[in-house]
Amino acid sequence: MIFSKGSKFNSILCIRCPQCHKGKFLEKSPYNFSMFTKVRKQCTCCGLQYSVEPSFYFGSMYVAYGIGVGLMIATAAITYWISTNFSFLKTFFAICVVLVFLGPYINALSKIIWANMFFTYKEGSEKIKSKS
């Protein structure tokens, strides 16, 4: 199944460790504005070091950009579809509202997608840290 354990979608949608899919990836909720950009240093379950090098997550900005553009296009299309008379200003405000509310989640999502590009799921990896 596409969302089963071991699938990248499982790790991405649940924002869990890319290696064991059990440990939390973020320090706090994406909507906790004091720490919404903080990624844990390592997984609490398997001990995976989340940051391969300093500034590792700068690349996730490209992922966030792609997600943001996709959301803007989808919002504009939905606004055009449900509105009787299309207005650039209404569409602009709709896009702004969507991006303001989903911005922290986009940030978290882009980081976990970026991490999943570099780390893979390992069956039984959640037991590695407990043995140490």
* Phi and psi angles of residue 44, each rounded to the nearest 5 degrees, phi first: -75, -20
31 band by pLDDT with thresholds 50, 70 and 90:
confident
DSSP assignment, residue 60? H
End-to-end CA distance of the chain: 32
pLDDT band, very low/low/confident/very high, at 76 (cuts 50, 70, 90):
very high
Q: In the predicted model, what is the mean pLDDT of the chain?
A: 85
User: Is the model's pLDDT at 130 over the cut of 50?
Assistant: no
Q: Decide if pLDDT at 39 tops 90.
A: no
pLDDT of residue 125: 59
φ/ψ of 19, rounded to 5, equals -90, -45
Taking residues 27-56, what's their average pLDDT?
83
Kindly tell me if the per-residue pLDDT of 94 is higher than 90: yes
